[in-house]
Structure 1
Amino acid sequence: MKLVTAFIQPHKLHDVKDELYKAEIFKMSVSNVLGAGQQKGYTESYRGIAYEVNLLKKVRIEIAVNDEYVKTTVDAIIKGARTGEIGDGKILVSPLEDVIRIRSGEKGEVAIG
């Protein structure tokens, strides 16, 4: 079992969801987050004063999958999120020690679904 976490551009969320649905990956959590990576932000002027904006808006998608779905999930996220420009995002794949479905008490791969 793995946890796939992706940080993507907010305007690419719809495309990523479409690709995940095509790959029959329907369960996910989505959060709006702020972060900085290689982009390092930008400078903005407000009333004649320059401000450095170094935390940019991103979307965080978390998907718990069984091992056989990791490649499918990662490929779908890449296909939906890639523009070829700096700031496309990152995908992190982490091991999950255990998963428990609260409603039924099921554990492990069965709980992911």
Structure 2
Amino acid sequence: MMKLIIAYIQPDKLNAVKQELYKEEIYKISVTNALGCGHQGGYTETYRNVLNEVNLLKKVRIEIAVTEPYVEKTVNAIIRAAKTNQIGDGKIFIIPIEDTIRIRTEERGEVAIG
């Protein structure tokens, strides 16, 4: 069984998360800058004496495709590195992958995840 792990974390935790993943021999990740809000809801700031409410906060989205033996190792590595016990630490989603295809070789399934 293959899984896609999607994690939203604080931007300043990206390097720590990568280091924890490397310790678990998980090297293949995709990283995207994202904007979003959750429980913390945002904050207000003043610019030129105008009060602005900022609802969307900067986050980093990490996507990692893994086979079943790597799911818990991946999740635990992300939690170890990203957790501060504060609102806004992020979320992790685990989604089943129906199929994977490596374009170069046309391999399919778990072998294509590598």
TM-score bucket (shorter structure): over 0.9
Distance in 1 between residues matched to 2:107 and 2:29, nearest whole Å:
19
5+ residue gaps, structure 2: none
Partner residue in 2 for 1:75: 76
Say if 2:111 is the partner of 1:110.
yes
Distance in 2 between residues matched to 1:31 and 1:105, nearest whole Å:
26
- Report the RMSD for the aligned CA atoms in angstroms: 0.4
Partner residue in 2 for 1:96: 97
Distance in 1 between residues matched to 2:81 and 2:24, nearest whole Å:
11
Letter in 1 for 2:47: Y
Say if 2:39 is the partner of 1:42.
no
Distance in 1 between residues matched to 2:71 and 2:15, nearest whole Å:
20
Identity across the alignment (%): 65
Partner residue in 2 for 1:3: 4
| Structure 1 residue 68, shift from structure 2 partner | 1.1
Letter in 2 for 1:10: P
Partner residue in 1 for 2:67: 66
TM superposition score normalised by structure 1: 0.99
Matches within 5 A, 1:13-52: 13-52=14-53
TM superposition score normalised by structure 2: 0.98
SS state of the match for residue 3, structure 1? Answer: strand
Say if 2:55 is the partner of 1:54.
yes
5+ residue gaps, structure 1: none
After TM superposition, where is structure 1 displaced by more than 6 Å over at least 4 residues in a row?
none
